[in-house]
Amino acid sequence: MDLDLDGLRVRTLVAGDADLVVEATRAERRPALWGPRPAGPYSQDDARAALRAWEAEQVSYGVLDGPRLVAALGLMPSGPGAAELAYWVRPERRREGLGRRAVRAVTAWAHAHAGLTRVWLEIDPDNAPSLRLAESAGYRYEERMPRHCRTWAADDPAQDVWHDCLIWTHEASGRRR
Ligand SMILES: CC(C)(COP(=O)(O)OP(=O)(O)OC[C@H]1O[C@@H](n2cnc3c(N)ncnc32)[C@H](O)[C@@H]1OP(=O)(O)O)[C@@H](O)C(=O)NCCC(=O)NCCS
């Protein structure tokens, strides 16, 4: 992927982009796109490991404003024609409409060029910004899955606390629910 989003560039992230991830997560205090750890700024090693892990089975895309990474999105295949979409905007650039623009663009690209008929989101019911973004980007609420998502309070799934998740979907034109 390499898209022009009204002056922003959206492109696939690769292992060599670790510097961008380190710079973009400097002000983060919670988990970023690539997983529950670290919950905060990424070191070079964290960034290299995360990008390598994503390259194996999933794809992460960066939104660049000039030389800086301002947002990242990830597509995680989940069966024929379907993938989960995850997103993150760097803390200093939230509430500028970046998330909505990027989610709309990557969703449209996924339908048109990646052969995906269904793109879906998994959202914590307490994540008001993400819920608002999902609706604003044209996704539809589908269902609540009880105790489906981890809080990552513990590494062992059996010891972890699990919470409900809300599933939102976007289907290719003519197939939206
Ligand atoms: C969720 C997130 C991506 C939103 O990105 P963003 O660029 O700030 O969102 P936008 O500026 O495009 O706003 C989209 C909509 O959400 C609303 N919104 C954004 N932040 C909000 C907040 N803190 N509280 C309430 N509404 C909020 C905006 O007002 C806008 O609504 P509108 O279209 O009705 O005007 C960002 O907060 C983030 O990276 N959070 C941490 C990672 C995360 O939670 N990812 C989602 C996991 S499911």
Closest C-alpha to 74, from 49, 48, 103, 101: 103
Q: Which domain holds residue 80?
A: 2-171
Whether 176 maps to a domain, the answer reads no
Omega of the bond prior to 31 within 30 degrees of 0, cis? no
- What tens digit of pLDDT does each residue of 44-92 get? 999 999 999 998 889 999 999 999 999 999 999 999 999 999 999 999 9
Looking at the structure of the chain, the number of domains it has is 1
**Where does the pLDDT of residue 175 fall: very low under 50, low under 70, confident under 90, or very high at 90 and above?**
low
54 within 8 A of 74, measured Cβ to Cβ:
yes
Whether 64 maps to a domain, the answer reads yes
Pocket flag, ligand 1, residue 115 (CB < 6 Å) = no
CA of 130 to the centre of ligand 1 (A): 5
Residue 164's CATH number: 3.40.630.30
Pocket flag, ligand 1, residue 135 (CB < 6 Å) = no
- What tens digit of pLDDT does each residue of 94-113 get? 999 999 999 999 999 999 99
For residue 43 the two structure tokens come to 């070191």
pLDDT value of residue 177? 46
Of 133, 135, 151, 167, the one to substitute when testing ligand 1's pocket (max ligand atoms within 8 A of C-beta) is: 133
Predicted TM-score (pTM) of this structure: 0.96
